[in-house]
Amino acid sequence: MENNPLKIKALDIILGLILMSAAFYIFYRIKTGLHYKWNWGVIPQYIIRYDPDEQKWVSNLILQGFLTTIRLSIWSTFLAMIFGTIMGFLRTSTSLFNRLAGTAYVEMIRNLPPLVLVFIFYYFVSDQIMPVTGIDDYIRGLSENSQAVLSFLFASPRYFTAFLSAVITLAVFEGAYITEIVRAGIESVEKGQWEASSALGMSKWQQMRHVILPQAFKMVLPALAGQFISTIKDSSIVSIISIQELTFQGMELMASTYMTFEIWIVVSILYLVLTLSCSLIIEQLERSL
Amino acid sequence: MKKKSLFLQILVTIMVLFFLAGSSYAGEIQNKLVSESTIEQVLKRGVLRVGMSTFVPWAMKDKKGELIGFEIDVAKKLAQDMGVKIEFVPTKWAGIIPALLTGKFDVIIGGMGITPQRSLKVNFTVPYEYSGMSIVAHKETAKGFSAIEDFNKPEVTIASRLGSTAAEAAKKYMPKANHRMFDDEAQAYQELLNGKAHAVVGSAPTPVFHAIKNPEKLFIPLKETFAKEAIGFAVRKGDFDTLNYFNSWILVHHSSGWLKEREHYWFETKDWESQVQ
């Protein structure tokens, strides 16, 4: 890493001015052309508000949606890792059947628009599976304490099944991309490693576990972390199946208050806060590897 | 002779047995139907799950993030009368009927207008409310428009909410106009305020509220509402007990005047405005 001290040249100044004036022009247009009545004063109360009855600060719609988005992203990524690893093994397997199964999964998912996939999955697949498991009644029958724990980790009992469906749907979708990352990782380990471990008399599974995967994992860690950011962004898609995440809560608020711009801006900033902080963490991770 | 009568006796006995079996079998089916009806399930669960969608002033979020509105009052009262808790399931309007059919909630109480096409998919109760369509137009782009015919031109753009009866009415009454559908009403009104649409068609009284809010830009071209519609609860098909219970409930509150009083509060006054902003 070379350390270049920043030098500002004439070209930079000109470019900076052009960008500044463009930004000013856009703001000017919004101000004059749209006749939009800005009303920033009421926005903070929708994020967090002081409840006089309970004498404490409580989260409101936007913050609740924000937390739901985080939960959704974490659980989906976790599940997608499992799907992706299994399918990645299949994709690099020696048997033709396994390879075909893995390929079919990846190509199916990658070549469908996520919106369509979410709809199909939610109304057809998860609706057939969820009632059979009886999970809804089970959750409702739990004690107060376990319900509180579940609400903190997943979602409140009333939205639990919908949340679970959304997590599975997102995981299936993201899993296809993780499959490819895992496959690339496994294939990036040179052939000699396989041969050497095989010469030591290891079984296929032992080779994978002790030799190949540790090296592959190191290779794909940055890509996996990048996929996590994609999951955060893709989680906004499940707003169409009425999961109470950030985008959905924002839209509901807009429908109530008609403050379109303010709410979209706040929602974008919150997404940025989430994804940018993840990006920074990944950068640190890559340096430490 | 004797043989014949014996034969007859046997035949009659067998027939009687059959009838008895049949009638007890029918009774079993009836019991099963009763126990499997949505109403019974709700009572067993102790929770009524209501599907709805944000639609000012039918249902909206207040400052505390709680749901308020005409529809919300109706659903709460219904649950209270049944002696169960209420749970609202906010759902995107475009997917609300599939969500009901797949059992994500028990009933739609969401300002849903009764239409022949919808009635093929769900069962509607008797109306608990009547609504009409009203139209709000932009002062510059739709200058001097004062009748539906003025809007029925190819160069006129009309915005409305996707899948709503307002969108259908707009298409029916102004077939020649250019129609644009949005997922939420807020987006349709934003389009109008930006001057990209000539008018928005929506269920009364929302368009009028917007005209009052933005007097310098919007106006109400038609004094009367058009395309009157009846609003009912929607339940899954083939569930007579549930339909009957809701019908009775609506009749009771029509006659007690409670529905009228709530309707006046939400649709004809603006006392609730301070709760939202």
DSSP for B130-177, please give it: EEEEEEEEETTTTTT--SHHHH-STT-EEEEETTSHHHHHHHHH-TTS
Would the pLDDT of A204 be above 80? yes
> Where exactly are the structural domains of chain A?
10-288
Is any Cβ of chain A less than 8 angstroms from the Cβ of B82? Answer: no
Would you state the pLDDT for residue B42?
Answer: 92
**Considering only CB atoms, which chain A residues are within 8 Å of B65?**
46, 60-61, 64
Question: Which residue of A252, A253, A261 is the best one to mutate when testing the B interface, meaning the one whose CB has the most B CBs within 10 A?
Answer: A252
- CA distance to A97, A204, B180, per residue, from A94 (Å): 9, 11, 54
Lowest mean pLDDT among A79-88, B43-52, B160-169, B244-253: B160-169
Whether the pLDDT of residue B1 is over 60: the answer is no
Please, which pLDDT band fits residue B193 given cuts at 50, 70 and 90? confident
- Separation of first and last alpha carbons in chain B: 93
Q: What is the mean pLDDT of chain A?
A: 87
Give residue-wise pLDDT tens across range B97-110.
988 998 889 999 98
**Which residues sit opposite B181 in a β-bridge?**
B160
Q: Is there a contact between B184 and A254 if contact means CB atoms under 8 Å apart?
A: yes
Residues A163, A155 contacting (CB under 8 angstroms): yes
- Is residue B273 within 8 Å of B213, Cβ to Cβ? no
For A173-177, B82-86, B155-159, B226-230, which range has the lowest pLDDT when averaged over its residues? B226-230
Closest C-alpha among A164, A181, A169 to residue A114: A169
pLDDT computed for residue B23 by the predictor = 65
Residue B5 vs residue A208, higher pLDDT: A208
Question: Residue B85: which H helix or E strand, with range?
Answer: strand B85-90
Confidence of residue A151 (pLDDT cuts 50, 70, 90): confident
Q: Which residues of B touch A46 (CB under 8 A)?
A: 63, 65
Please give, rounded to a whole number of angstroms, the shortest distance from the CA of B7 to a CA of chain A: 52
| Reported confidence tier of residue B4, pLDDT bands at 50, 70, 90 | low
Does A125 score more than 80 pLDDT?
no
Read off the pLDDT of each residue in A18-24 and give the average, rounded to a whole number: 94
Q: Report pLDDT digits (tens) over A27-68.
A: 888 777 666 777 888 888 888 887 777 777 888 889 999 999
Topology adopted by domain A10-288: MetI-like fold (1.10.3720)
Q: Confidence band (pLDDT; 50, 70, 90) for B187?
A: confident
Q: Helices B38-45 and B70-82, interaxial angle, to 10°? A: 80
Chain B contact present for A195, CB below 8 A: no
What is the nearest CA distance from B87 to chain A, expressed in angstroms?
Answer: 8
What pLDDT, on a 0 to 100 scale, did the predictor assign at position A2? 55
pLDDT grade for A160, boundaries at 50, 70 and 90? confident
- Give the mutation candidate from B61, B89, B106, B206 for the A interface (greatest A CB count, under 10 A): B61
Residue whose pair of structure tokens reads 């057939």 in the numeric block: A128
CA atoms within 13 A on the CB side of B192: 33
pLDDT value at A1 more than 60? no
